[in-house]
């Protein structure tokens, strides 16, 4: 289930990055776009690390490649979008937040031997 959810999230990011520039809502806040990038890649990191709990480096590397790849894709395709290094930076920051949160959650949910009842 976790893998399907992570894959669906990744596809949603790819679809969102494929929208033409004029199809995107105009934001009153200049940074709203960056918040969306951060949240999208935080979800990416969280979900993929939940699906593959022992693959943090692979998730980090693939997430960074996906972040830069989506920016290059937007620049190359005739959809009115362009490569924005600040978007890629927001993606990377979100990815690190998602990975950190997933790691913290993994650590927090492990059984703690100190509080285990003694075996009879």
pLDDT 10s per residue in the chain (120 long)? 789 999 999 999 999 888 886 655 555 455 688 899 999 999 999 999 999 999 999 999 999 999 999 999 999 988 888 888 999 999 999 999 999 999 998 887 766 545 555 565
pLDDT for the residue 23: 55
pLDDT for the residue 60: 97
CA distance 113 to 97: 28
């Amino acid at each position: 289930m976790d893998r399907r959810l992570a894959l669906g999230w990744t596809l949603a990011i790819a679809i969102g990055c494929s929208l033409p520039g004029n199809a995107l809502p105009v934001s009153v806040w200049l940074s709203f776009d960056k918040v969306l990038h951060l949240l999208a890649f935080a979800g990416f990191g969280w979900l993929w690390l939940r699906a593959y709990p022992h693959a943090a480096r692979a998730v980090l590397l693939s997430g960074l490649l996906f972040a830069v790849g989506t920016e290059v894709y937007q620049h190359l395709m005739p959809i009115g979008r362009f490569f924005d290094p600040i978007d890629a930076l927001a993606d990377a920051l979100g990815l690190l937040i998602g990975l950190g949160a997933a790691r913290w959650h993994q650590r927090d949910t492990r059984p703690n031997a100190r509080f285990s009842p003694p075996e009879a």
